[in-house]
Amino acid sequence: MPGSRPIPLPCRLEEQTKRLQKDMKKSTDADLAMSKSAVKISLDLLSNPLCEQDQDFLNMVTALDTAMKRMDAFNQEKVNQIQKTVIEPLKKFGSVFPSLNMAVKRREQALQDYRRLQAKVEKYEEKEKTGPVLAKLHQAREELRPVRDDFEAKNKQLLDEMPRFYNSRLDYFQPSFESLIRAQVVYYSEMHKIFGDLTQQLDQPGCPDEQRERENEARLSELRALSIVADD
Amino acid sequence: MEPKEAPGKENMGTKKKNLPFLRPRLYMLERRKTDTVVESSVPGDHSGTLRRSQSDRSEYNQKLQEKMTPQAGCSTAETLTQEDEHQIQRMMAKRAKIIKELIQTEKDYLNDLELCVREVVQPLRNKQVDRLDVDSLFSNIESVHQISAKLLSLLEEATTDVEPAMQVIGEVFLQIKGPLEDIYKIYCYHHDEAHSVLESYEKEEELKQHLSLCIQSLKGKPNLLDMGSLMIKPIQRVMKYPLLLCELRNSTPSSHPDFQALEDAYAAVKHINVNINELKRRKDLVLKYKKNDEEESLKDKLSKLNIHSISKKSKRVTNHLKILTRGESQVKDNTFNREEKLFRSLEKTVRHCVKNISSCLQHVQDAMPLALQSMMELQEISHNKDEEESSYSESPSNAPNPSEDFAAHLQKLVLTPLSALLSLFPGPQKLIQKRYDKLLDYNSYLQRAAADESDLAKREYEALNAQLVEELQVFNLAARKILLNCLCSFVTLLRDLMIVAQRVHTTTVPVPQLASSISEIQNRVLEEVQNLNFVKDNSATFIERKLSFEKKKPVQTLPEVPRQTDTHRSKLLSTYSTEALYQAKRKCNATQEYDINLLEGELVAVIEQKDPLGSTSRWLVDTGIIKGYVYSSFLKPYNPARVQKVDAENRFCDDDFDNISLFVSSRPARDSVAGTPEGSISGSSSSLSGTCGKSETNGTDADSLQEADEQIFYAVHAFQARSDHELSLQEYQRVHILRFCDLSGNKEWWLAEVQGQKGYVPANYLGKMTYA
């Protein structure tokens, strides 16, 4: 049967593209949520009456708030960058697929027609070569020709162009990937700087974790030893 | 501990008033029968006192006599001096006895302690019996033992090889009073609980056995008959010191160097006892109120409701309202108010911190893995797996998730301490409330000037207030420290998280320095892609591409054949009957002579269903412009209804052009360039119906029959349209099916008509209606 070789459809690519688009959206949404919740921490602290009573505390919280707000701003910028260089291109790339699918379908239809008419021709060819049969055969062949040409044209086109399309993804997405990495790296290094500065600025710079933990425990036991604290 | 020698009225009063709080053993002096040594000195004591007053009198007499008979002064003076000498001697003798007694009793006491520790406490500790908590029974008895030993050694030092006239005992006590107070305070504080613990242990057979075993090893000393008497020894001892010191002071002549020291020592030791008492009282007070709040069931609460409590509570409410409306209360404690405000702010801060930091942590834990995952996916899609697998594939998948580490540390350093701290707030809060109640009571009594009640209220209030002020300060300081610690830790952890994240992302790919902007590159690629023929063929846009025409296939030039116009079609429609009208399913190319070319969807009228040669597969048709032959298989019966369908589809298609790129033109450029004068729409319509025609030929002939019949279906389920293209259906609603496929040939969606509305419905929602 003609055209029996199936075209390797890169349907995985379409699925990949769609999934990637969704995941990137989810990721950027999660990033934004995270920085929003971080800002909330410092906002709540600022609005606390403790700030009026305790100057040191107020200073600390103000510094924290500044840092959080900057984190939010940078995060927003990062998301915008990702939106522009990754998500939008993904969408555009994905918009090619319907056309591709349609072309494949049409080739399929052409194939069906082709096969049908071919079968007809063969049927007549097998019959006795009588006058009417010959006439019919001739007509069938005439019918067949344009259809076959059509199919073959479509087939060739797809065979030629689909791999090219498929390969184009490499060139297309490489810049996106690099941009994503760069955006993340820039963001994280900025954040590192911001929080490093903040750590320096706050009290007790360079206090190791175990020491903090021990001190907390000591304070907590001190509190528990007080008689006014419920000893459940 | 009110000593008997100082019977102030006030003290008597307090004794009575404190009865509810009193534990008899602690607040009232008990002289045990076993304390024989001291008792014997009691009569001596009195005699000493008597003697003292006597000597006072005699001194006074002396002075009087002196004044009255200056001449006889010398002789009386002599007699007096003699008497004085006797006096002093007697006193010194007494003093020596008392000192000896002091030392002896201390020695005995020390021995008892030693015995206790050696025979009871240590064995019990070594045995490590379950549920027998030695510490709660004996708390710091070892320290008591130690200080007693020290006291004894100091006493011995002060008395051996020292002239009686030079022995200074008071100094010893003054030296030792600090540690003495601290150690005994602890022991006395815990003794109460120890006693109740002991009682609970005695109830259990097994533990009782253990305890009695230890007791037996004490070899039945008369004053160590049971555990209780053992445990109370330190308490008794510390109460004894004031008595002893007082006696000693009383039998010390004022000229003795020890006199002043003894005075001070006596005061100090008394003070110690008072402090221990006070501590106990406060604790009792606090316990009383805490217990009230925690352990009451509704029944208990109801049973407590009596006239007294109700009146108390209502009084409090009134007072509270009074304060609210009239302003300041008479009694104020600014320190307390300040501390309380601080306390409240701290509570709010800690509460918010816990909540917000937890939610931030949650978000971080969500966001980071997602970011990593999408990065990996993007990497996958943008790289050819075969080529650069080695260098890139390792790093992202193996990178440890930075947020896990962060989460664990955050939990440990920040959330756990803060939550623990938060749970400590309610206790003091209750007490603050109680204090406020007491304040109200006190206020009301003050206003009514009811002396006794106000006194009690005042003392209760003041006790609570003092306790709270002192401890709230500690609380606030410690809480604030913890809070600040946690915030610092949080910030440090964030910094570390960022470092790790940065590192993870850097290892994946060396960050290139891209000169050109990304969009340029991508647009270029996209254009290349879109220049591919299959895209052009099937794309929705009619915009001609200015660029890259070289990629296009050479346009097949069409012989300039006039195309069918609407006028032609209408002419055909009017000229021929419906049965004769057919439509071209696809483009037909003329191959034989007298053949004509047809475009998809063009309308033709069949004149003859056979050709000159007699073959029925080739028909003579009229296009309105020209007559010729076409293969019948290229034709399908023309259905006027289909025109409407087509129009309807056109409506949909207008939208579709924007959103969904359905193919419209069947051939590249030709149709749009040399399109029918009707414009793109009819061209599209013809191609659409042509397409449908194509897809229909894929099916069986039954399909065409179905089309002709326009079967009526009904909706088995209700269906809700999700877009303009779809049609909502109610259950059992009759629908007209116009087409059994959608525009792309999908047989699962059918074009249906209901009450003039057209739209697509899912085929499996429909059932065929059978006419009876």
Chain A to chain B, count of Cβ pairs less than 8 Å apart?
A: 331
CB atoms within 10 A of CB B37: 13
A49 burial via Cβ count (<10 Å: 0-12, 13-18, 19+): middle
B702 has a pLDDT exceeding 50: no
Residues B285, B335, single domain; the answer is no
Domain containing residue B418: CATH number: 1.20.1270.60
CA A161 to chain CA centroid, Å, is 25
B561 Cβ contact partners less than 8 Å away, ≥ 6 residues apart: B597
Domain containing residue B602: CATH number: 2.30.30.40
- Assigned domain for B670 exists: no
Are the beta carbons of A37 and B359 separated by less than 8 Å?
yes
Of chain B, the percentage scoring pLDDT greater than 90 comes to: 2
Distance CA B498, CA B383 (A): 27
Are the beta carbons of B417 and A220 separated by less than 8 Å?
yes
Q: What is the mean pLDDT of residues B78-94?
A: 78
Interface pTM, i.e. ipTM: 0.85
B187 burial via Cβ count (<10 Å: 0-12, 13-18, 19+): buried
Helix (H, G, I), strand (E, B) or coil at B251: coil
Residues B363, B441, single domain; the answer is yes
B169 has a pLDDT exceeding 50: yes
Structural domain ending residue among the three candidates B273, B295, B317:
B295
B554 has a pLDDT exceeding 60: no
Distance CA B512, CA B222 (A): 94
B-contacting residues of A 4-23, CB under 8 Å?
A: 13, 16-17, 19-20, 23
What's the first-to-final CA gap in chain A, in angstroms?
85
Residues B180, B267, single domain; the answer is yes
Least confident of B146-150, B356-360, B689-693, B707-711: B689-693
Residues pairing with B759 in the sheet: B752
The token duo for B503 is 């590192």
Give the predicted TM-score (pTM) of the model: 0.51
Are the beta carbons of B533 and A161 separated by less than 8 Å?
yes
Q: What is the pLDDT of residues B386-443, one digit of tens each?
A: 555 444 444 444 456 778 888 888 888 888 889 988 888 888 888 888 888 888 878 7
Q: What is the Cα gyration radius of chain A? A: 35
Q: What is the mean pLDDT of residues B721-735?
A: 81
A133 has a pLDDT exceeding 70: yes
Single-letter amino acid, residue B21: F
**Nearest Cα residue in chain B from A22:** B374
DSSP 8-state code for residue B558: P
Residues B343, B290, single domain; the answer is no
Q: What is the Cα gyration radius of chain B? A: 55
Q: What is the pLDDT of residues B569-595, one digit of tens each?
A: 777 777 777 677 787 777 777 777 777
Q: What is the DSSP string of A25-82?
A: HHHHHHHHHHHHHHHHHHHHHHTSTHHHH-HHHHHHHHHHHHHHHHHHHHHHHHHHHH
Chain B closest-CA separation from residue A8 CA (Å): 15
How would you classify residue B63: left for phi > 0, otherwise alpha for psi between -120 and 50, otherwise beta?
Answer: alpha
What local confidence, expressed as pLDDT, does residue B661 receive?
A: 35
**Chain A residues in contact with B697 (beta carbon < 8 A):** 112-113, 116
B357 has a pLDDT exceeding 70: yes
A136 touches chain B (CB under 8 A): yes
Are the beta carbons of B498 and A184 separated by less than 8 Å?
no
B288 touches chain A (CB under 8 A): no
Alpha helix positions (H), B327-423: 334-382, 389-398, 402-410, 416-423
Distance CA B265, CA B180 (A): 12
Q: Which of A223, A224, A231 to mutate to test the interface with B (most CBs of B within 10 A)?
A: A223
B271 touches chain A (CB under 8 A): no
Residues B349, B283, single domain; the answer is no
What local confidence, expressed as pLDDT, does residue B511 receive?
A: 55
Number of domains in chain B: 4
Residue range of the domain that includes B763: 712-768
Q: In terms of pLDDT, which residue wins out, B629 or B768? A: B629
CA atoms within 13 A on the CB side of B595: 18
What local confidence, expressed as pLDDT, does residue B515 receive?
A: 41
- Assigned domain for B474 exists: yes
In 3D space, the residue among B710, B692, B690 whose CA is nearest the CA of residue B752 turns out to be B710
* Long-range contacts (CB closer than 8 Å, 24 or more residues apart) made by B529-532: B529/A93, B529/A96, B529/A164, B529/A165, B529/A168, B529/A172, B530/A96, B532/A161, B532/A164, B532/A165
The token duo for B514 is 């891209």
A-contacting residues of B 728-747, CB under 8 Å?
A: 744-745
- Assigned domain for B553 exists: no
Across chain B, what does the average pLDDT equal? Answer: 71
Across the interface, of A27, A164, A179, the residue whose CB is closest to B518 is A179
Q: What is the pLDDT of residues A139-168, one digit of tens each?
A: 888 888 888 898 888 888 888 888 888 888
Q: In terms of pLDDT, which residue wins out, B616 or B667? A: B616
Q: Which domains does chain A have, with CATH numbers?
A: 10-225 (1.20.1270.60)
Q: What is the pLDDT of residues B180-215, one digit of tens each?
A: 888 888 888 788 778 888 888 888 887 777 777 777
Structural domain ending residue among the three candidates B584, B607, B637:
B637
CB atoms within 10 A of CB B371: 27
Residues B182, B255, single domain; the answer is yes
What local confidence, expressed as pLDDT, does residue A65 receive?
A: 92
Residues B340, B266, single domain; the answer is no
Distances (CA, A) of A109 to A5, B692, B697: 15, 11, 9
- Assigned domain for B201 exists: yes
**Chain B residues in contact with A89 (beta carbon < 8 A):** 518-519, 522, 526
Helix (H, G, I), strand (E, B) or coil at B532: coil
The token duo for B144 is 């008591």
